[in-house]
Structure formats: structure tokens, C-alpha cells
Amino acid sequence: MNTKRSTPYLSGEILRLISYCPLCEAPTKPLRARILEDKAGGNLIHLQCANCHSSMLALVVNSPFGITSIGLITDLTSDDVLRFKDKAGLTADEVLEVHQLLYKEGDK
């Protein structure tokens, strides 16, 4: 069985699953989509509504049981996602340091 997917399948079938914008509920046509990562296990897609310009990230996984997608509304551009997706997360110490900088004792 050939498990390699082509871009036409991806753009035609998977993007059809995302049929409306979750914020303004406008039909997502024309759909602005950019495939950010295409791996054998799944695809990371950045979508932008042509009506309200909100952005979404979708992780689409093609398994033997069917196609599954997980969506996330974001304010990131597709370039932002590419820049941050492989970076290490923040540590608890870094979060506390920023908090201390923002809320120094005596500041209100």
C-alpha cells in the first residue's frame, strides 16, 4: 500500500474538512492556507479567513482509522509558527523572572 500523500490530495480533501471560520462563521472560500509541515504522520497547516482575517492552525493526521484534525485559533502568522515551532518552551524560572520584572515591589 502506498502511504505517500501528494499535495493535491491534501489541498483538495483535507482542506475541505475546514468548511467555515470558527470566529465569523463565513465559508472559508477563498481559503488562504499554507502547509507548514508535511510529514508521513500528519500535516501542520496555517489557515487565514479571507473575511475576518483571523488565523488558525490545524494539525491533520491521516491514520488507518480516518482523518483527524485538531484546530487552534491563533494570532500567529505562518512565518511566526515556522520560527517558533521547534524552539524549546519557557521554563518556570523564566516565567517567574518576567513576572518579577513586570511587578517589582512597590510598583502598582
Question: Do β-strands 42-48 and 66-74 pair in parallel, antiparallel, or remain unpaired?
Answer: unpaired
Return mean pLDDT, the chain: 79
Query: How many domains is the chain built from?
Result: 1
Distance CA 8, CA 87 (A): 30
Give per-residue pLDDT as tens, 17-26. Answer: 566 788 888 8
CA separation for the pair 39, 61 (Å, rounded): 9
pTM: 0.66
The pLDDT of residue 15 is 53
Residue 70 lies in a domain: yes
The boundaries of the domain holding residue 40 are 7-102
* Domain assignment of residue 2, yes or no: no
